[in-house]
Amino acid sequence: MISSKNENEEKKSMMADIYGEAIFLAIPVVALIFITAVKNSFSFETIFSSLLLTSDWSIMSSVIFGQCAYKMARVVTILGPKTDGRRYAHYLARRIFLITLSLLIYAAIVFAPNLYLGAFQIILFFCSIFFFFRDSAGAYILLNRISIK
């Protein structure tokens, strides 16, 4: 009974920490939307078009994917020989691929903006948010397993 209560409290603390980090990720997004809305307050269509064609989404995605890779690298360093290096290398390769993809989309939007690239970069941004939550929870779970043993 007591361990269940401790586990529940630990889970609540973990989620509070992840949500706290997410709030700091949300600040630039809210600022981007607010500034774009004020700057292009002529119509909803111009606001939407401007938001879609700004390269800021790609930059934010690459930063978030980088944060995920950094967070997991920190955990793997703490775990040391208890981790499977091949699985971590595979994880890291996927995150580096997503960082590179985000930066390539950034360059494409800067040089040849179009609605398809704009939609793709926003989808990639929401994927980065999903990975942020998943990787953060995974990192906490791995660290919790270490502290229990």
Structural contact between residues 123 and 132, judged by C-beta atoms closer than 8 angstroms: no
Reported residue count of the chain is 149
Say which residue the tokens 């600022």 belong to: 31
Question: 10-residue block means of pLDDT along the chain (149 residues)?
Answer: 67 82 87 87 83 92 94 86 84 96 96 94 95 90 71
Return the CA Rg of the chain: 19
- Give the Cα separation of 60 and 117 in Å (integer): 15
> DSSP state, 54?
-
Burial 102-129 (b: 16+ CB within 10 A, else e): beebbebbeeeeeeebbebbbebbebbb
At 8 the three-state DSSP class reads: helix
Task: Give the predicted TM-score (pTM) of the model.
Answer: 0.84
Sequence-distant (6+) residues with CB within 8 A of 105 are: 58, 61, 117, 120, 121, 124
